[in-house]
Amino acid sequence: MATMHEVDYKIYGDDMQFVEIDLDPMEAVVAEAGGMMFMEDGIEMETIFGDGSQKSGGFFGALMGAGKRLLIGESLFMTVFQNQGTGKKKVAFGAPYPGKIIPVHLVDVGGELICQKDAFLCAAKGVSVGIAFQKRLGAGLFGGEGFIMERLQGDGWAFCHAGGTIYEKELAMGEVLRVDTGCVVAFTPSVDFDIQYVGKIKSALFGGEGLFFATLRGPGRIWLQSLPLSRLADRIIMASPKAGGRSRGEGSLLGGLGGLLDGDNE
């Protein structure tokens, strides 16, 4: 018997998307704090301690769930949006930066999904949002964002967000894909995830792609993103005049004139 709330949804937009969820009376969704875009009259918000799942365990169980969330840098609390009115009501959640929202029906992927810790947006109430430690030594020492990931478990809808364009692929048995560590969004538990050194000192020092990459070995489904949040943040910082960044052409005469016209030079 399903324990998750069965919700209907629609995704709007292209590069800055939001997901609108229809809730029947007493149905609910759980989300990270600050993700809500709008909600109709009749939907009530409640801040809860832990991950929002309906597992037993009382206060100690909630404390364990909250502690796991703290390990991945998330808040101890989550917000539940429940339809306490009559008839269907809508609540919407917006993407935090340019990219795509990925809807995943967990029952279709075996009831479990591993995703980057900042990818989770919202889910049907009852979905467990826990943590997944990578067991490989390489992933643990050099995985960065990929060392501690989120584990979504249940049989309802979960919604993740990723930057840029999304690439979804079904890996065959033994098929291997090498990926920039920040570009891994999510994968099913059957996928073997590890971190490997690029192998060549020259490439590592001057290639601009980092010292390590992720290897994903099938079978299983994977989701990749073309624009990791960390890469976007680095480019914004580099382009910031206060951080000493210089846009393309600023070293030339035309670049200097452009800065004067834009008011960049004081």
Question: Alpha-carbon distance 190 to 193, whole Å?
Answer: 9
pTM of the full predicted structure?
0.77
CATH code for the domain in which residue 75 is found = 3.60.160.10
pLDDT of residue 218: 94
Question: Alpha-carbon distance 95 to 229, whole Å?
Answer: 12
**Residue 83 covered by a domain:** yes
pLDDT of residue 37: 95
**Residue 259 covered by a domain:** no
**Residue 122 covered by a domain:** yes
Helix H segments across the chain?
Answer: 58-71, 137-142, 201-206, 229-239, 253-262
**Residue 256 covered by a domain:** no
Q: Which two tokens stand for residue 236?
A: 């914004």
Question: Which pairs with CB-CB distance under 8 Å and at least 24 residues apart come from 131-134?
Answer: 131/68, 131/69, 131/71, 131/72, 134/193, 134/194, 134/195
Number of separate domains in the chain: 1
**Residue 142 covered by a domain:** yes
Q: Which domain holds residue 131?
A: 8-237
In order of 29, 69, 152, the CA distances from 83 in angstroms are 9, 26, 23
User: pLDDT in tens for each of the 266 residues of the chain?
Assistant: 445 567 899 999 988 899 999 999 999 999 987 889 999 999 999 988 665 555 545 444 555 554 555 555 555 678 999 999 989 999 999 998 889 999 999 999 999 999 987 899 999 988 988 887 665 544 444 444 445 788 899 989 999 999 999 999 999 999 999 998 889 999 999 999 988 776 665 555 555 555 678 899 999 999 999 988 877 777 788 877 765 555 544 444 445 544 544 555 44
pLDDT of residue 102: 96
**Residue 79 covered by a domain:** yes
Contact by Cβ (8 Å): 159, 103: yes
Residue with tokens 């997944």: 132
**Residue 242 covered by a domain:** no
Question: Alpha-carbon distance 15 to 13, whole Å?
Answer: 6
